[in-house]
Amino acid sequence: MTPGPIDPMDAQQLERRQAIVRILRDGHVRRQEDLARLLKTEGFEVTQSSVSRDLRDLGVLKASGRYVLPPDEISRTNGDFAMLAQFVRGLKRAGPSLTIVRTTIGAAQSVAVAIDRAEWPEVAGTISGDDTIFIATAHARAQDALVARLQAIFRV
């Protein structure tokens, strides 16, 4: 079975996200409004919410007052967390099967995505907010393995 034609909205979204990646690689965007303005000058019809959604879906972080793309390796593989380590601030247990990871503001989702994509057997799932990730494990032994792994990777 061959796939149907690409939905025009999907093609526009892909082009817009490619433009966002290019803009963020080329400069130092500090505000979503600046990014929206740059996209509009390139002919994209964007709103604040569409830009925000694109940044979130691309895993873009805000660090040192500017937007930063996650390393390509983190988004494609499960082994290179070195670039994300700078955003992790703490780690603690909350009972026998819930681990909490604290990050800098705005970094939790990118770290959680990297953990999810790693597909570690001890992780049942993650939930992330702005600066906090809840990681569920099936039991205390799985949590022990997870905590040891996170401590080794993030040095927390």
1-44 pLDDT tens trace: 444 454 455 678 878 888 888 888 877 788 999 999 999 999 99
Give yes or no: residues 146 and 123 share one domain. Answer: yes
pLDDT for 115 beyond 70: yes
Confidence of residue 92 (pLDDT cuts 50, 70, 90): very high
2 within a domain of the structure (yes/no): no
| Positions of E strands within the chain | 61-63, 66-68, 88-93, 98-103, 125-128, 132-136
Domain that holds residue 132: 76-154
For residue 131, which phi and psi values (nearest 5 degrees)?
A: -135, 15
Q: What is the pTM of this model?
A: 0.56
Q: Which pLDDT value is given to residue 11?
A: 74
Query: What's the CATH code of the domain at 134?
Result: 3.30.1360.40
The whole-angstrom separation of Cα 74 and Cα 84 is 8
